[in-house]
Amino acid sequence: MDVTIRPAREEDFEEVVAWHQENGWVDDVEDLKLFKRVYGDGVIVAEDNTGSPVGFATWNILGPDIGLGGKIIVKKEHRGKGIGKKLVCAYKSCIGDRNAWLHAEIHTVDFYKKYGFVHEGYNAEIFLGSLHRDVALDVDSTVEVVRRGVAASIDDIVAYDEEITGLQDRKAFLTEFAVGSENYLISATKDGIIVGFLIAHLIKNVYRVAPFYADTAKIANRLIQFLSSEIPEGSTIELNTFTVTESIEYITEKYKLKKMDSALALFSKNSVNFPMEKIYSFAPGF
């Protein structure tokens, strides 16, 4: 099928969100607008000869050596026509010679491997459920945990994010994700040094808790406990985990979060190792 790859426009987003929701993804128009503000022409669509979008993807550069693709989807009635291939090739072309990285739903792994994503990484899993204030956790009570105001500097958050992930150029994304009266940026410090943080970003009626990092399990527990005291009781949250460690399992079991989906990280050049013991939920920019 002949399609044209072009930068997405805001008027495309309502239809794209419908495809995402059909696929079981938590998404809304405002979230796609956020990505457009941060990544500009890295938000793309495939359009047919009538000008209607039939495919969608995002890509962004996260440093001199790595780029990320995300939200790749083709409208259901147009699948199997080569549109996905063109979106993937456009993404790889845009990031140049960098290591291309994406999360592939398990049934799509073979598709992406055909186009060079041959190095397997971690297993990503999405958990969904409600936070309740009466859940008791084993926490580190020596850390100072606060919700940061919109005007507060996040330079230490950005530096900690880069220290944990090794990824760069994420200040605009982290700032946008945290902005808004219904979003929460919660940090944990010890002796004035940041030792963990999370962002809870409201998408429709679900708080996507990501990024969520902590130096220790007890600090992570303190952060999620604090969040539960700040957001409305019983609010639904989403965690985007890399690997389900014992510490993540503790949180998901305590709050009875349900696993909703799984994906495999794929890379074009080499798999990337992350400090899984410190990453509880991740938002690389998709």
Determine the pLDDT at residue 28.
87
Domain-embedded: residue 114: no
Q: What is the pLDDT of residues 61-77, one digit of tens each?
A: 999 999 999 889 999 99
Kindly state whether residues 138 and 89 are assigned to the same domain. Answer: no
Q: Are both 170 and 34 inside the same structural domain?
A: no
**Which positions ≥6 away from 51 have C-beta within 8 Å?**
none
Query: Could you give the number of structural domains in the chain?
Result: 2
CATH of the domain at 234: 3.40.630.30
Quote the pTM value. Answer: 0.92
For residue 265, pLDDT beyond 90: yes
d(CA 122, CA 266): 8
Q: Would you say residue 27 lies in a domain?
A: yes
Q: What are phi and psi of 80, to 5 degrees?
A: 85, 15
Sign of CA pseudo-dihedral 88, 114, 118, 213: positive
- The pLDDT, as a whole number, for residue 181 is 78
In a domain, 105, yes or no: no
Asked, for residue 266, whether it belongs to a domain, the answer is yes
CA dihedral 276, 277, 279, 281 (to 10 degrees): 90
Q: Rounded to whole angstroms, how far apart are CA atoms 200 and 180? A: 11
Domain limits at 34? 4-97
Q: What is the DSSP string of 119-179?
A: EEEEEEEEEEEE--TT------TTSEEEEPPTTS--HHHHHHHHHHH---S-HHHHHHHH-
